[in-house]
Amino acid sequence: MNYLLLEEKDGILTITLNRPEALNALNIALLSELKKVFDQQVYPDKNIRGVIITGSGNKAFAAGADIAEFAGFDGEEGEAMSRDGHWVFNTIEQSPKPVIAAINGFSLGGGNELAMACHIRIASTKARFGQPEVNLGLIPGYGATQRLPQLIGKGKALELLMTAGIIKADEALRLGLVNQVVEPDELMPTVVSMLQKIMSKAPLAIARVITCVNAFYESGKDGFDEECQQFGASFDTRDFKAGTSAFLLKKQAEFKGE
């Protein structure tokens, strides 16, 4: 990996975007490495039960797509880049393992779109958020026109998208863009602690929750119907038996993800 640092510990894979000299701007090669990590490690590896995505250095999560890289693109290349990015970010959003963005600084443009593709966002007080694409004569191409209104509502999303305003972490929390804001030195411990809490639950049930919530936003899908199916399928798992018997015996359940 040229642009990502990977560290696996106690079932958590931490992926660090590693281009600090460019504020971790997302170039095409970095995104393709990210896709590979999810396809080849996160999805298939049973030992990985949760994922953290963060940025290297102390200034940025990611300050957007790499402007220098796409500056010479034409429309066809721009659309292809956008479609490739959607493919990567959808893979993250649909990950059966929980993915938390640990937002340690600037979360702008494509960087913020990456954060929004994660299931949960926890920010340091130093984080700054925005979709500044209209400053460049562009619109967001990695999902912000869809995921930002899903998270904060249409009116505020349009305001941020059209003014290119940069907001602080406390405002992002107020709007619902992030789940929690903590001091910088508390960021990683807080993220790890939330992931550990999720990872202590039944893994297949966690995956089904992600599937059902995503279904609400997927065109052509009936989220209520998806819930009925996934609910029913949960009964046929060993984890369901383990969870219910542990409850009835007043014990702590041990889930195996089976």
Tell me if residue 113 is catalytic: yes
Q: In what order do the strands lie in the sheet with 4-9?
A: 4-9, 12-17, 50-55, 99-103, 120-124, 180-182
The helix/strand count (H/E) of the chain reads as: 11, 10
Which residue in the set 82, 107, 124, 211 belongs to the binding site for ligand CO8 (CB under 6 A)? Answer: 82
- Give, in degrees to the nearest 5, the angle at Cα 137 between 78 and 77: 10
Based on the shown chain and the rule CB under 6 A, indicate whether residue 116 belongs to the binding site for ligand CO8: no
The residue among 73, 172, 175, 95 whose CA lies nearest residue 128 is 172
Based on the shown chain and the rule CB under 6 A, indicate whether residue 67 belongs to the binding site for ligand CO8: yes
Q: In what order do the strands lie in the sheet with 167-168?
A: 60-62, 106-108, 128-130, 167-168
CA distances from 105 to 18, 26, 65, 112, 130 (A): 14, 15, 15, 11, 12
- Cα 109 to the center of its chain, rounded Å: 14
Stretch that binds ligand CO8, among 42-50, 139-147, 176-184, 200-208 (CB under 6 A): 139-147
Q: Which residues are paired to 9 by β-bridges?
A: 12
Based on the shown chain and the rule CB under 6 A, indicate whether residue 63 belongs to the binding site for ligand CO8: yes
Which residue in the set 64, 98, 203, 243 belongs to the binding site for ligand CO8 (CB under 6 A)? Answer: 64
Distance, in Å, from the CA atom of 130 to the CA atom of 52, rounded to the nearest integer, reads 21
Based on the shown chain and the rule CB under 6 A, indicate whether residue 105 belongs to the binding site for ligand CO8: no
Based on the shown chain and the rule CB under 6 A, indicate whether residue 248 belongs to the binding site for ligand CO8: no
**Shortest approach of ligand CO8 to residue 30 CB, angstroms?**
11
- Which position among 21, 77, 93, 133 bears the catalytic label? 133
Based on the shown chain and the rule CB under 6 A, indicate whether residue 140 belongs to the binding site for ligand CO8: yes
Binding mask 196-235 for ligand CO8 (x = CB under 6 A): ----------------------------------------
For the chain, the straight-line distance linking the first and the last C-alpha, in angstroms and rounded, comes to: 32
Binding mask 149-188 for ligand CO8 (x = CB under 6 A): ----------------------------------------
Tell me if residue 133 is catalytic: yes
Based on the shown chain and the rule CB under 6 A, indicate whether residue 136 belongs to the binding site for ligand CO8: yes
Based on the shown chain and the rule CB under 6 A, indicate whether residue 109 belongs to the binding site for ligand CO8: yes
Distance, in Å, from the CA atom of 142 to the CA atom of 65, rounded to the nearest integer, reads 9
**Shortest approach of ligand CO8 to residue 83 CB, angstroms?**
9
Distance, in Å, from the CA atom of 258 to the CA atom of 255, rounded to the nearest integer, reads 8
Binding site for ligand CO8 (CB under 6 A): 22-23, 25, 63-68, 70, 78, 81-82, 85, 106, 108-110, 132-133, 136, 138, 140-142
Q: Which residues are catalytic?
A: 113, 133
